[in-house]
Amino acid sequence: MSADHIRQTKGRGRLYDSVLDTIGNTPAIRINHLAPDHVTIYVKAEFFNPAGSVKDRLAVNIIEAAERAGTLKPGQTVVEATSGNTGIGLAMVCAQKGYPLVVTMAESFSVERRRLMRMLGAKVILTPKAEKGFGMYRKAVELAEQNGWFLAHQFETGANAAIHENTTGPEIVADFAGERLDYIVTGYGTGGTVSGLGRVIRKERPETKIILTEPSNAQLLGSGHAQERNADHSPAVSHPAFEPHPIQGWTPDFIPAVLQEAVDGAYYDELLPIAGADGVKCARLLAQKEGIFTGISGGSTFSVSLEIAKTAPPGSVILCMLPDTGERYLSTPLFEGIVEDMDAEEQAISRSTPGYQMG
């Protein structure tokens, strides 16, 4: 863009009936400073969704699919286990549609997430850290059975991958129509993104390789150990390869049934592990060098994208999924060392002029 160009906007050309109609159509944004010269990297910025994450897509589809099926009754309480983003998305959807929401969440996840859900009207029930994701999952099941509530079933429901097949995948195909697209890089939480994308990309862009990633210290898929399941496809036990990791929203301590479709259908071409520290580093780089503010999961996906870029053929185009915004990580290692008060350099700048100095 030339220096004398003046930015203008013209409106979207439509009015919206509710906040839910603004979900999706998130932009693919070029990386201008951090990508190697021989490749082009884009990021699909899911934090442009109204509640700040890719899970807004899943949340609205779970509720609306249940409404269509008649399994969710007017005014019925919705309950779900979540590390945060699905709960935030569900809280937004339930607030708009008038459903009470109860979320179960392990106490280890960031406090900002529970405060955001409560701000949106949800009740948040904390479960012990030692019980991991399986504990919060079982608590949600117990509450649903005890009270006759609607269990969202994000880890098993067909509405999960379906929304990515119907929205995320087609958006990517449309945005890259007539353009190269050599790689798509994504992590997994429920597995809905990779399963939904896999259905579309395998058909519409078969030349595009899908790269899946998971924490290096919690390689559930990489372990080759199958998940034990109940008859309804829910996890029967915690996966033995799981260890606690800092990439919140990724890789619970079981392999979700939604993700299993991507495994069985060979929807990804390569599985690459990533260390949480590398995710933190790259999230900070995206913020400070590109002005793109994402969380540890987004930083982790971007770190893997940079690894792919190192050996990718010249001219390759890589699309990196950024699941959420960085603001729900304030109490996590992402913000470690980011101080509230002025540091020495800032104090020196302040003292460089005589007026308006803090004591």
Residues noted as catalytic: 55, 297
Strand duo 209-215 + 270-274: pairing? parallel
Terminal CA-CA length for the chain: 43
Measured CA to CA, the distance from residue 60 to residue 322 in angstroms comes to 19
- Residue 54 DSSP one-character state: T
Q: CA–CA distance from 222 to each of 14, 182, 334 (Å)? A: 46, 23, 26
229, β-bridge pairs: 235
Helix (H, G, I), strand (E, B) or coil at 274: strand
Task: Tell the residue number behind the tokens 């190269």, with chain if given.
Answer: 180
Tell me the longest C-alpha to C-alpha distance in the chain: 73
Count of CB atoms situated within 10 Å of the CB of 302? 31
CB 100 within 8 A of CB 150: no
Measured CA to CA, the distance from residue 61 to residue 161 in angstroms comes to 10
Q: Which two tokens stand for residue 355?
A: 């007026």
